[in-house]
Amino acid sequence: MLRRCPPGPPPLLRALPPAAPAVRQRLRECAARIPEAEAVLDLLEKCPEHQKKGGFPVVVFEGLDATGKTTVTQSVKDTLNGILLRSPPACISQWRTIFDDEPAPIKRAFYAAGNYILASEIAKASTQAPVIIDRYWHSTAAYTVATEINGEVQDLPPVHDEVYQWPEDLLKPDLVLLLTVDPKERVRRLQCRGLEKTKEEAELEANCLFRQRVEESYRRMVNPACQEVDASPPKEEVLKTVLQLIKKHCAL
């Protein structure tokens, strides 16, 4: 009787590297063709293997574009005299357009690498002041899930699937806040901004099912899970709500 070979990793895990070694391996595989991958690898190799958070709280803000992340993160940073960081970090963000045109496994390896490089910055900054982050691992995972899975929300991996788990070797924040707004209001804000759309932002605007998959994927993330915040009210009210949640969940 023939024994079947064990199947390879499921498609989602192939698209979403589960840990730093997988990220490095994927970047090495394309470095000969993409010189920028070698540069990302060099930065990644300089990061300590185990990042430790300092004594100040680390708060991540997640959400679709035009949900108010830029305004809220800046306001929270100013209120708490904190340090504001973004993903992907500034040292690699100039290469986003290059990797956005690559197949999903390479593209997601770039964004995953950005999270590990960012973790090194978080570890240092959190010894000095509260750290406010505009997107982190949950964005990488949520957009991967929504892109790789077609169909409706019920077609997503089940709630406790491993794709929703935080990587064991990635520094964790103290709190993750998911900003949401009504879809029509979000589109209105986008139109007012008049900025050039990314491929995924154009997809969010054109495809309501894709948007629903992204938002539901955010909600299914665990360890840490997202605390949802309605960002539709005036910015002063949203800031008040956010600061109350930070005070409740973080040692300030």
What pLDDT was estimated at residue 51? 87
What pLDDT was estimated at residue 49? 82
Return per-residue pLDDT of the chain as tens, 252 residues.
433 444 444 556 667 888 999 999 999 999 999 999 999 999 999 998 888 999 999 999 999 887 889 999 999 999 999 999 999 999 999 999 999 999 988 999 999 999 999 999 999 999 999 999 999 999 999 999 998 988 899 999 999 899 999 999 999 999 999 999 876 766 666 666 555 555 666 666 557 888 899 999 999 999 999 999 999 999 999 999 999 999 999 976
Environment class of 248 (CB within 10 Å of its CB; exposed 0-12, middle 13-18, buried 19+): exposed
Q: Which residues, in sequence order, are bridge partners of residue 177?
A: 61, 227
Report CA-CA distances (Å) from 248 to 55, 208, 252: 17, 34, 9
Assign 177 to helix, strand or coil: strand
What pLDDT was estimated at residue 209? 87
What the block records as the tokens of 43 is 């930065």
What pLDDT was estimated at residue 141? 95
Reported as a single tens digit per residue, the pLDDT across 41-64 is: 999 999 988 889 999 999 999 998
Contact 197, 145 (CB under 8 A): no
Q: Could you give the count of Cα atoms lying within 13 Å of 19 in the half-sphere of its Cβ? A: 6
pTM of the full structure: 0.88
What pLDDT was estimated at residue 194? 56
Reported as a single tens digit per residue, the pLDDT across 116-127 is: 999 999 999 999
Report CA-CA distances (Å) from 207 to 84, 202, 211, 227: 31, 8, 7, 25
Per-domain residue ranges for the chain? 18-47+84-128, 55-82+139-251
Assign 222 to helix, strand or coil: strand
Query: Domain spanning 55-82+139-251: which CATH class is it, in words?
Result: alpha beta
